[in-house]
Structure 1
Amino acid sequence: MASEVLRTTSLEALQNEDQRKVLDIVDRLRRTGLSSVLQLPQLVVCGDQSSGKSSVLEAITEIPFPRKENLCTRFATEIVLRRDFTSSITTNITPDKNRPASEQENLRSFKKSIAEFKDLPGLIEEATVLMGLDGSGQGSTRAFARDVLSIEICGPGRPQLTLVDLPGLIHAENKSQTAADVALIKDLVDEYISNERTIILAVISAKNDYANQIILKNARKIDPNGKRTLGIITKPDYLREGSENEKDWISLAMNEDIYFELGWHMLKNRADDKHNSSFDERNKSESNFFSKGRYNDLPRSMVGIESLRGRLSALLNNHLSQELPHLKKELDMKLEETANDLGKLGEKRSTVYEQRQYLMQLSVKAHDVVKSAVSGHYEGRFFGLVDTTSKVDSPANLRRLRAVVQFLNPAFAEHMRRYGHKFRISKTGNGDEAIEDSDGELASDATSNVEPAKVLGVNTPKRLNRDEGLEWVLRVLQRSRGRELPGNFNPMLISQLFWEQSEPWEMLAKAHISAVASVCSKFVEDVLETAASKEVKPRLWTLKIEAALKASLDAAQEELKKLIQDKGRHPITYNHYYTTTIQKARSKKYRDKLLSSASKANTLVKTRYEGMVNYVDPSTLGKKLGDDIELDMDKFSAEEALDSQSAYYKDEMKYFIGVITKQVVERHLVDPLPDNVLSPMLVLSLSDDEVKYIAGEPKEITDRRNHLEKHLKMLESGQETFRLAMGGLR
């Protein structure tokens, strides 16, 4: 490689060994790509157009930049100096993130290496054209770009240093520089110098009045106290020796006018006709200039390139020593934040295998939760705390599925007792006594878990006294008469009475099945809400879960249909409860008659020892009992049929409640939930296309995941860099 690449002896003043170690940390962090995530410390050279920025940068780095006008100031140029065993020059482009993806990819593909600095102009011009700019800025559709050209220069004697040369700020638009260009450059410069870890090298030219140079206004606005701004004055050789103007510029350099905590520095760059002179010649010319006139009175620490390197060395060392702990803390926070954001996206699902694995994990998790809920084992975060302020079947307690079902089943039984019968028949003719429900127990006026009849879609039972009940039976009897002898009734009469009396059963059962199915559906939806990502849940629900729940509901309704068909057949029972109930009813009726007749046959008789006592006259009692014989055969049959129907109804209602809660609700709605709705077997049965449809990540999620994974990798690499580098500094 040419000697100009290897020549770095004058740069040794820029850093000592400890400073190199500190700067090496930043350099290694930058190499991991962290500059896109964290604000890394850097030197930024900025100023107005033609202020001498590139010459300052060239003098600091001793890199011979191209001489062609405006070639390096059309976009940000990042100069990366890196100490390495071998010498090399490589370039790449970091595209503007607002460019289309195809353009970004095209710019990223630009990676060039050269052997000598003489090839640098051609390489930069190639990058310029690739960015959509021409070489001169004249007539191009775009005069400036927000892309960044990175030039990495490695060598054994190179310092660890990164500097950024920014396009010059434009005072006014013209035919080749539009208002949009003016705004773009200002935004670009402000973006760089707003980074609180950036040291601003604000370059101004003594050829122009410094009060009119935009960079001073921008720098003082962003860094009002000048804590991280170093002013650099160029082209003092254009000032007339001994003039007031020269005096004013020297006053500025002495920090007496515009105050910066970091102060000011003066440089004399190559004259326009000396661009081909060597760096040694440039430095000698500068040294001679500042040794004469008023400049000779200035402290040597604030004039010339050699002292500037010394100032930058100390400045960088102090700046980095202060910033590295904050940078480490920010890196750790970003790492934790990125890891949390990545965790929220769930497992990666870019391939069918990953998607099936995701669904398998989801189903296992959901299966365990559903199984626990069905069994009533409420352990784990999903179930949370009991909400005693809300109803058992409220959304707040819906996750405790077994408790809700156990709440709804007794409510159904109570609905059956309250509203299952069409007629509510009392036991006497006047109907004044308390009305009993169909099970022979007094019905309560209010129960917390019992819905009104209208809500359930049935009518409130019509109240009838005993005589009205008998009239109902008699009307049915007369219309159902067969060849039976008087005093007997057609066996079908009980069927007709029972069918009419139990008419509300189907509607009550349907309402209960619907309520339980709704609870199960909401419960499964809640499980999916916690187990699946927001984009997977609706797909899984639509493709599989909804159909499975509907199949369970259809099976339950089909089972109910069969039970209703069974109820419509001729009454059959082998339960002794039926005959016992009839015998109890008849025994009570005869007992009541006997007591009534005995009361009528009761008389007072005077005895020798006890005086007047009550006496039941047997003959009178017999006569009275004979008088109570029902001569109306139809009425007699109606009474027998009413008692038989009542006994059968009570027996059948208990059976119906049992089969609905066990054979319908449990068998078809509740018990199958773990295996038929969210079973791991479901995942195994899915085709690859179904797996892709359900678990495939949307492009925006995949892009977001890739973005976060890239950032996480960079942050982890940066954290490792800190661990290794900080250990080396101790």
Structure 2
Amino acid sequence: MSSQVPDINLGYGFEDEQTRQQLELLDDLQKLGVSEYVDLPQLVVVGEQSTGKSSVLQAVTEIPFPVDDNMCTRFATEIVLKRTQPGEKTRVDVIINPDEKNESDERKIALRAWRPEKFDPAGDLTKDVMKNIFDQAEDIIFDENEERKKMKRGHQPWAARSLSSATLQITRSGPNENNFTIVDIPGLIREKKSNAISIKQTADALASKYLQNPRSIVVVVLDITHPDRQQIYQMLDQVKDQENRVIGVVNKCDRKQAQSDAWVFDLIQNGGNSKKYLKEGWYGLRNRLPSELDISDEERDRRENKFFDGEEWSSLDRNKLGRHHLKSALIKMRNRHMKRSVPKLLPEIQAKLDKCVRDINVLGEARTSNQAQYNSINKIATKYSLMAQGALNGHYDVVPQDTNFYARKLIRDDLDNFQREMVSKGPTKAFRRSEDDADVVAFTVPEEWATKILGLDGYKWIRDAIQKYRAKEDVGEINPEVKNQLWKEQTVSWKETASEWFRRVEETIDLVNSKLFEEACSDEELRAKLQSWLLPEFEKSIEDARAEMERIVLNERDAHLFTLHPSKAERQQAYHQARIQAITDKYVSFNTGASLPQATDPPSKISPVPAKVIINSLIYGNAELVGVINTHDSLAAYYDVALYRFIDNFALQVVERHLLGRHGPLQLFNSDYVSKNLYGEDNASKLSDLASEEPKKAKERRDLEIQRKSLEESKKLVQSFKIL
């Protein structure tokens, strides 16, 4: 290696036409900002602080990076070299790409608008110019005031200062440039002092982010400190496909201890037994010493070549030593990587675009104006009411195939269960069965029947009530108030049962209402606002329904026991006849040959009186017993009629009319209601309060729209790329 490899050999010989076009495609994609959403091929330099990463960058790009770590390790730096048409002038552009996720909109605008002062785009990138760029970039990225600037100029300890995810991008375009992009990220920190822990974690996270990007070509820079003590050496094990996309650099080879540090030779030899074999290999560099900062690039190359001409390095492949061979290897590696990576971009862009569109759809339509807000709510109300009507009418084809939407089915199930519980609970005091009465009197003499019957549970409470409520009635009559009081006792459970099933029906309606709103309005915040807005009307309809339930309960409990239903009289007569028939049958069967007192006096010898007539005369010949039995039969007959009347009234008046009716929770929210309450200038303020987007959501929508535009334009670019 007696002479340097001239730059002209690094030109088109390392790039075919397809690679150049792919590089131009990537540059266009970068301009569209798609790298925020899709990993693009890039070359990244990683290493610990003070390993000489800046010197490596300077060697590869010929741009004089500041070698003071305090000047360039707080944010990522992207160097873009672009070849232009012959004859065009070389130009340098400097911009800052802000952190899209963690910066405010105002800061993003300020960072994007920034350009370095006292900078000539057509001038040379000298050491002083580069220092000026980095100083200004650091000030704007960290928004540093004068006091912090003084601290920085005073070499404030690095560990006490923060890092940023913003990227300083320096683009040099000219006819003699190679199409080449390289990224320098803040160096990893070895120290673990408490005041450096958070900074160390940030640096580690940045490094890991770039290492895990499957489209990154990683340049790992080690110095002559043993690799086992360098964190990046350990982190290589985390890199997927490290053999194909990692290239290694051992920097500061001239500071290696003579006849020691044999690991340096082992790495560069990269043999099968190498401790860290890399397919792309390891390269050795000798960079400027602190005393050589002002020497030219030519002098730097001469001293590096002379150093590696030494006997100690003669056993190594000379193509693995020196900056020009490293640069050649990087360009070849990049070209291969490009051909593998670019064809995979389109499906990934499409997948990201599909997700972005889905996320935008979840947000719903933008609501930046009153008209847009009104249209959005009206659209939701139309969809909601259409599904609600289908759910109430049993037309389930207009709602998702989920039984939680089937309002009519669920309400019918509730009402059926309500009916069964009302019937199964029955009256407070069970009404007497005729067979049970017959069992009691069949084994006693007729003279004791009245006493026996009046002492039975089903009759005694009636007899006691008659005695308790005696008033001005004649002998043999009962006070009409008796039946009213007995009826109240018999129906005491009706209110409790009705109230419980009212609550369950209300829960069913709440469930259906919630499911309908979820389906009609995907915007969770707007849905919550709409439900809160409608809540007073919903609650009013519930209260109206509850008041109606209270009325029908009171009507049945406190009103006069009256019905026009013919079955009441029929049932009462049936109770009477069944009792006499049962007692007759039972008495005759168990008292064969015994005689009954005649119903005529003297007894008729021509036409014997039937036993049933005699028994009826015996039972209903006792005035007190007649009053008790007739009251019992009247209450029992009326109970059957009133029970189903109450069940029907609950179903029709409470549930159907109020809860499911035109003003009920499931029919209230529709286009007419929206128009009446939100349309027009008088309702503009209320509409805005209800439907305007939250700032956070508005920002999310803007970011997603920017992402969609970037992805759509990028998709068009990749689709139109003819070589693919």
User: What TM-score do the two structures reach when normalised by structure 2?
Assistant: 0.72
Match of 1:149 in 2: 168
Residue 44 of structure 2 contacts residue 218 of structure 2 at CA under 8 Å; is this kept in 1? yes
Question: Letter of the aligned partner of 1:81 in structure 2?
Answer: L
Counterpart pick for 1:93 among 83, 91, 96: 96
Match of 1:724 in 2: 720
Shift of the 432–330 alpha-carbon distance from structure 1 to 2, 3 Å rule, reads farther
Please report how far the alpha carbon of residue 671 of structure 1 lies from its aligned counterpart in structure 2 after TM superposition: 3.2
Matches within 5 A, 1:510-589: 510-532=499-521, 533-545=523-535, 547-567=536-556, 568-582=558-572, 584=574
2:411 paired residue among 405, 416, 424: 405
- The whole-number CA distance in structure 2 between the counterparts of 1:170 and 1:492 is 96
DSSP 3-state at the match of 2:170: strand
1:371 matched to which residue of 2?
Answer: 389
Alignment partner of 1:124 is 2:134: yes
Question: How far did residue 652 of structure 1 move?
Answer: 3.5
Residue among 656, 659, 682 paired with 2:646: 656
Q: Does the 8 Å contact 2:381/2:670 carry over to 1? A: yes
- 1:219-258 paired onto structure 2 within 5 Å: 227-232=244-249, 255=270
Give the letter aligned to residue 618 of structure 1: I
By how many angstroms is 1:317 displaced?
Answer: 1.2
The Cα offsets for residues 65-100 of structure 1, whole Å up to 9 and x where unpaired, read as 579897556643211223557764322224567977
Paired residue for 2:155?
139
Aligned to 2:114: 110
Conserved in 2, the CA contact under 8 Å of 1:425 and 1:465? no
CA contact (8 A) 1:54 1:65 kept: yes
Further displaced range: 294-303 or 34-43: 294-303
After superposition, residues 345-494 of structure 1 pair within 5 angstroms as 345-348=363-366, 355-379=373-397, 382-384=400-402, 399-426=405-432, 428=434, 431=437
**Amino acid aligned to 2:381:** S
Q: Distance in 1 between matches of 2:519 and 2:543?
A: 27
Are 1:714 and 2:702 an aligned pair?
Answer: no
Matched, 1:164 2:221: no
1:85-141, CA deviations, whole angstroms, 9 ceiling, x for partnerless residues? 776432222456797747666544424474233474333321133334759764336
Q: Does 1:77 align with 2:61?
A: no
TM-superposed CA distance for 1:586, in Å, is: 6.1
The alpha-carbon deviation at position 189 of structure 1 amounts to 5.0
1:290–1:303 contact (8 Å) kept in structure 2: no
State the AA in 2 paired with 1:667.
R
1:679 alignment partner, one of 646, 670, 673: 670
Secondary structure, in 3 states, of the residue corresponding to 2:720? helix
* SS of 2:279 mapped into structure 1: coil
**Secondary structure at 2:411's aligned position in 1?**
helix
The 2-side partners of 1:667 and 1:566 are apart by: 18
Say whether the 8 Å CA contact 2:48–2:230 is kept in structure 1.
yes
Whole-angstrom distance in 1 between the partners of 2:360 and 2:133:
39
CA distance 1:705–1:428, shift in 2 (3 Å): same
Quick check: 1:231–1:264 contact (8 Å CA) kept in 2? yes
Q: For the structure 1 residues 71 and 354, does the alpha-carbon distance in structure 2 shift closer, same or farther, using more than 3 Å as the test?
A: same
Counterpart residue number, 1:315: 333
Q: Residues 73, 137 of structure 1: CA spacing in aligned structure 2 closer, same or farther, 3 A cutoff? A: farther
Shift of 1:149: 1.3
Q: Give the structure with the higher percent helix.
A: 2
Q: Report matched runs for 1:51-66 at 5 Å.
A: 53-54=53-54, 56-58=56-58, 60-63=60-63
Q: Work out whether residues 602 and 617 of structure 1, in 8 Å CA contact, stay in contact via their aligned partners in 2.
A: no
Provide the rounded CA distance (Å) in 1 between the counterparts of 2:471 and 2:196.
109
SS of equivalent to 1:729: coil
Tell whether the 8 Å contact from 2:454 to 2:625 is kept in structure 1 after alignment.
Answer: no
Q: 2:658 — aligned with what?
A: 668
Offset of residue 421 of structure 1: 3.0
Paired residues of 2:434 and 2:582 also in contact (CA < 8 A): no
Match of 1:43 in 2: 43
3-state SS of 1:153 partner:
strand
Q: Deviations over 1:368-394 (max 9, x none)?
A: 33322322233366343xxxxxxxxxx
| Cα pair 2:439 2:583 within 8 Å, conserved | no
2:191 & 2:578 partners in 1: Cα distance? 114
Contact kept? 1:73, 1:167, Cα under 8 Å: yes
Contact 1:420 1:505 in 2 (8 A): no
For 1:183 and 1:507, how far apart are their aligned partners in 2? 64
> 1:635-663: per-residue Cα shift (whole Å, max 9, x none)?
44555555444444444434333222212
Task: Work out the percentage of aligned pairs sharing the same amino acid.
Answer: 24
**Equivalent residue for 2:444?**
none
Distance 1:585 1:354 in 2: 70
For residue 667 of structure 1, report the CA deviation from its aligned partner. Answer: 0.8
* Distance change >3 Å, CA 719–CA 565, structure 1 → 2: same
RMSD over aligned Cα atoms? 5.3
Per the TM alignment, residue 318 of structure 1 is displaced from its structure 2 partner at its CA by 1.0
Q: Is the 8 A contact 2:222 2:230 kept in 1?
A: no
Conserved? CA contact 1:487–1:637, under 8 Å = yes
Residue 618 in structure 1 maps to residue 606 in structure 2: yes
Q: CA deviation at 1:40?
A: 2.6
Q: For residues 184 and 640 of structure 2, what CA distance do their matches in structure 1 show?
A: 96
Q: Contact between 2:46 and 2:184, CA under 8 Å: does it hold in 1?
A: yes
SS at match of 1:425: coil
User: For the Cα contact (< 8 Å) 2:84–2:174, is it kept in 1?
Assistant: yes
Superposition deviation, residue 403 in structure 1 = 2.5
- Counterpart in 2 of 1:34? 34
Partners in 2 of 1:425 and 1:179 — Cα distance? Answer: 84
Task: Measure, in 1, the Cα distance between the counterparts of 2:345 and 2:220.
Answer: 24
| Deviation per residue, 1:325-374 (Å, 9 max, x gap) | 44545444444444455555555556665555444444333333332232
User: Which amino acid counterpart does residue 729 of structure 1 have in structure 2?
Assistant: I
Output the CA distance in 2 between the equivalents of 1:171 and 1:468. Answer: 94
Compared CA separation, residues 484 and 37, structure 1 to 2 (3 A): closer
Give the direction of change, closer, same or farther, for the CA distance of 1:666–1:126 in structure 2 (3 Å limit): same
What whole-Å deviation, never above 9, does each CA across 1:551-590 have from its counterpart, x for those lacking one? 2232223223433454434344333334444555566678
Aligned positions, number: 663
Q: Are the structure 2 counterparts of residues 192 and 668 from structure 1 closer, same or farther at C-alpha, using a change threshold of 3 Å?
A: closer
Q: CA contact under 8 A between 1:239 and 1:246: conserved in structure 2? A: yes
Residues 137, 9 of structure 1: CA spacing in aligned structure 2 closer, same or farther, 3 A cutoff? Answer: farther
Q: Which structure exhibits the higher relative contact order, with contacts defined as CA atoms closer than 8 Å and separated by 6 or more residues?
A: 2
SS at match of 2:400: helix
Deviation of 1:203 after TM superposition, in Å, equals 5.2
**Residue type of the alignment partner of 1:115:** P
Going from structure 1 to structure 2, the CA distance change for 1:286 and 1:654 (only over 3 Å counts) comes to same
